[in-house]
Structure 1
Amino acid sequence: MKNKRILKIFLFSILIVASLVTYLSYGVKEKTTTSSLNLENNKSDFTNILMEKSIMLDVKIQRRKGDYDLFNHYVSGDIDGEINDGYSLKSAFKDFIMYLEDNNSRESRGIQYYVYDKSDEKICFTNSKKNLRKAFESNDKNILKNYQWYTTIDFDENGNVSLQGSKSNDWEGSFYNTSFDQLFKNDYLDEEENDIINNITVKNPTNIKVLIAVPKKLPTNSYLEQNYTNKVSISDTLMTYVFVCIAVLVVCMLLIPVRKVIDIEPFKTVVNIKLFFMFILYSIATALWLTVMTEVLRESWSGTFAWMIREKGMAGAGVALEPLVNIFGWFVFYALIMYFIFYIKSILVFGKDFLKKHTLICSIYRSFKEEIKSLVQFDLKNQSGNIVLKIGIMSGIFIEGILLFISFFMSVTGMGVYYYSIRVYVVLTCLVSFVAVIIIMLISKKMLTQVTNDYQILLQSAHHLSQGEFNDKINQDLGLFNSLKDELNCINDGFKDAVSKEVASQKMKTELISNVSHDLKTPLTSIISYIDLLKNEDLSKEQQDEYIDILDRNTKRLKTLIEDLFEVSKVNSGNIQLNPIDLDIHALLQQVLFEYQEQFEHHHLNLKNDYENKKIICHLDSEKTYRVLENLCQNICKYALEYTRVYLQIVETNQQVIVVFKNISAHEISNSDDLTERFVQGDTSRKSEGSGLGLAICKSFVEVQGGTFEVNVDGDLFKTTIIFPKKIEND
């Protein structure tokens, strides 16, 4: 949440900064004029500007003195006259003062001044950082060299004008022909109003001095720069700043992940608007901006914005509104650019998904699809009568739509010849659609009833299966649900097999506990008994040694049994660690046979080898593989019939190595199907000292290394087969 707020503030700040920079660029480009302003050829216009400036400065002085009744201060004579339609002379004068404020602030932009009241020199105003009065009076060259034209306009107590220090000649005459009276009467009074013109007098400012200076550097958007020279407007400068701001905005929007922007307002709300409507709104907003801002920019550049606002009936608000309107306009412009970049980036990032979600056509398609889906979806378990009605209504609308489309197509192509009015045609098509709806509803009801009955049979069978009744198989034809019926029957058979295996597993667990208890109890009981016998101090040395030998055998047997249990448990739990290496099966088997050679000879077993003397490499754990071969040899020595032959065979294929052990059992094998299970021995008498885990360990160690282990019994012939994956040389 905090990151979203920071990102929102960041984007908003970019828009505000870009808008401010753009507005400030209106007058940011100042340059030294290559020649003097063409004032001589514009003497009359420039004189009017300076006179208007002097009048407005005098108004400012009068207001400072507390005299706000400007009309009675400047106008004398028949001041109660009316101009037109009850429009008083006082109102006209008030409008003229406001006009001068707006117009002169534009025309005199860039001109520096210093004005003071000669009767009270403490009342003064200036817009220059330099002391113009001191520079004029002392003729300070260091300051005056920065100005291309300057003068002092002196108004005496009667309003007469005199000029001092001007660089141009013959300007006093121009001022003599310009007065406040002439300005007001020429601009606001018509020739038809001669009675008023002749009966009033508007006096000039009195008893003030106005120091005027035109700098060599003028803002490019000033009236003097644009009208008294051949300089270009500020549009070039403005466009440079606009392009820079757009570039910064584009870079920021490209660097910020679109998935973060899309989660903040107002992007989160705007993105929910379909692209079609968004395009219309965007086009309208752009057109409005171009219409409004073109006028605003033109008036702002020329300095007539305040005058334009006054003409709209908001006199005096122009100065305050100009920056606000311009900054807001540029804010809207950059916001439109930001949204445009956001949409383009969203389309590029999200691709088809974004278009499918936000385009109007895809939205209509999804809505139509959902409506159709809601009509055709129903619960077969709880059949409702309105399902058939929904199908009928939907089909009727579809048929009627097709008929009307055919009619429209034939009328457009000229293929249709009509003998009836359109009203008759619509009635006929509605009648055809109604008959079709009835037929479709009857057929749908029949089919739906059959499907529902089949579904109920299937549902009942599934319910019996969930209750553990595995003998309830479905044999009848279920039509649409036949494939599901077959799968349900297979699940039934699978559950029966799973239950049978679970019962067998529980039985095996019970036997396992019994066997473990028996196998652990037998050596443990013997150990306890002989320990008690050893406590007798009257035993001879020979008896003690005999008892110790028995204890040693039983403890070794108990140790072997526990170790075998641990080995099997590790494999079954998956907690076994393998260290595979490149292993020569032939060499490993030869090593095991060498170690058991004496035992084979002791039991009079004749070993027959059927394999070549060559390396056969497999990637196996040497310790676990050795244990497998060792257990098989040990098993043969314990259970093979003496004076028989034992066959060893190694078969090598392209991908496998097969090791086969064959021997004749000394006892009848009664548990031939479960010899690889834990605690299972071939003879049920369990008189041997084996743990019953030897073959289980072999099978576990072989399978955990990716091989297979099989035991086959044919009468008294006992055969074990080990298959290991062979290491391929190019691996």
Structure 2
Amino acid sequence: MKKKNIFLTILCALCIISSCIVTSFYPNVSTATPTKLPETLEQNLTAFILAKKLEQDPKYEYITFEKDTPEDIQKDIKKGLNSALSSAKNIFENDPNFFYTCDVNYKITSKQFNVNVKKKDTRYYDTLDSNTLNVTDNIVNLINYNSEKYYEYCDGTYYCDGEPFPGYTLHMPSDVVLTFYIPAVLNYDNTSLIDLLDLDADQYTYFFMTSFLICSAIIALYVFLNKYAYEKEAYIFRHVNNWLFEPAFLLFLTIDALLASGTCILTTYSIEGTFLHILNRYHIELSQPIVYGVNILAWSITLFFIGLSVYWLKCQFTTSIKDWFFHKTWIGKFILYFSNKVERIISTDLSDEILKKYIIFSICLILILAFISLLNIPFFSFFVVVTALIGISVVGYKKIKNVQSQYQDILHMTEDLPSGNFENIKPADSGLFQSLNNNIYQIKDGFEQAVKEQVQLQNLKTELISNVSHDLKTPLTGIKNYVELLNDPNISEEDKKSYLERLNQYTDRLSILITDLFEVSKANSGNIDLEYSDINIIDFIEQVCAENEELLQAKNLQLVTNLPEKEIHVCLDGNKTYRIFENLFTNISKYALENTRVFLDVKDIGNSVVIIMKNTSKAPLDFDSDITERFVRGDKSRHESGNGLGLAIVKSFTEVQNGTFMIETDGDLFKSILSFHKS
């Protein structure tokens, strides 16, 4: 499976697994018994206990007023309290979600109370004893719900609409015990009790936010830690890369907010049982699995879009701030577009024509604005406007004149450049054309360098002709001398044989010289045929070492190799590459100090393979020029069999195969370094 598919598969699996874990906690959250009754529920339960006492004993005097309490206050308090008792009794007697048993002086009344119910299956399960209830604040609040005035109880003093009054005493019964429970799964038909339970979205916010943050953090961490190269190729993800910042930001913000809000509402309704109740109302089969399935789907989609949003945010950091601003934002694109338009407008040839056009434009502008000013504003304003416009035109004229002068200076520099008159080309303050001035100065330096290199190349050609002439003349002279000796009729057979051997050596040397010179010329000119093939460079070097072992042993040179155990493949011409190593081994056998070691190392460095050959020179290494140039070493050692083209062939054949070759010396240590690109 491709890595981009693995990334997407794992992301989807994380979203689904996280969703399943969250929904598995729904039962625990829904059956968690609150530690405290809601205030409104407690107030109404207090009123219900008092109402149950009055039901058994209608003559029970439950409230008395202090002396001097105004009659209107007494009536209003009794009216409000009686209304609260009636309302509480009506709620708890008729609501399908409230089940109780009430003991009033050993007279028990109940409503479908199941003594075997388990507390884990209830939302609230409690027993209230009228002797232990602190009812002052509860009763005051109930009175306020149903009275025309507003009452308060503070530090032992009663207040009515902010004014103190003697107050009242509420006589709670001492013989009432109420045991009740409210089921965990609520019935939403014909119920008013739910309004007293404070059941709203905030009740489960802590659970939702905690779960949402933990799951989002897991998804975000996974997306951030994955390689961008795999993510950008994944389905859906690859379409997000080039979205502009502003619309993408608003889109992801809106979608994530809507999905999170919708999932939060769905989670709340599912935990409360509202969703399940709706399905049961329409007799939908498998309602409970549907509830969990819809929740898992909603959580999975939300988390997936969170991961997609995090990936989009990650995309913003894959480029420099400048590239991001100008290529991935609306504002940046507009600025870039506007800048390009302005650049196209001002990018024109600064010749006399533009100055004339500017003068004509300024005059026209002055006349038009002056005419408009005469028609609409006083003479003084007209004078000010015209003066300002004339001043702007004069300043503009001077600016253009200055720019034109700078333009002429640059033009003169470009005229001096082809003629080789470099003395007048130098850095100067060119204002608008400063960058152009700098570029011309750099071009001048490049021309000077090119001329120097051309002169040097010409000298090298002259030296090459001289060297070739010398190297051809030496064997030809030898051949001529030995041919004359062979023409002597008195020559002995032994001398004749010796002369023929020397003659054969001279012809071989001449043939090798011409062949090598021809191959170097073809390689340097690029007119060479290469037959590339895939080569295991390790096996190739081992073969070359084996074939040149006798050459080294003749000088008592010990070869020490350090080769990687793995295969390293390069695309090279086998014959040309063999000639490279053959020349290097030949060079070592000629110039290495006898009875020393020769080292050959192969290193794998990423996309390239480097071959290093080191030996100790028997002569001082005091080259004053590039030793890989043609005939350099031959000039210093013409008494030997070398012709000075060995390393030149190595360099040419290496570079024509897109490799590099260089020489390093350290004292008497001679180091050849080859580098080729791996297949």
- For normalisation by structure 2, the TM-score amounts to 0.46
Look at both structures and tell me which one has the larger radius of gyration over its CA atoms. Answer: 1
- For normalisation by structure 1, the TM-score amounts to 0.43
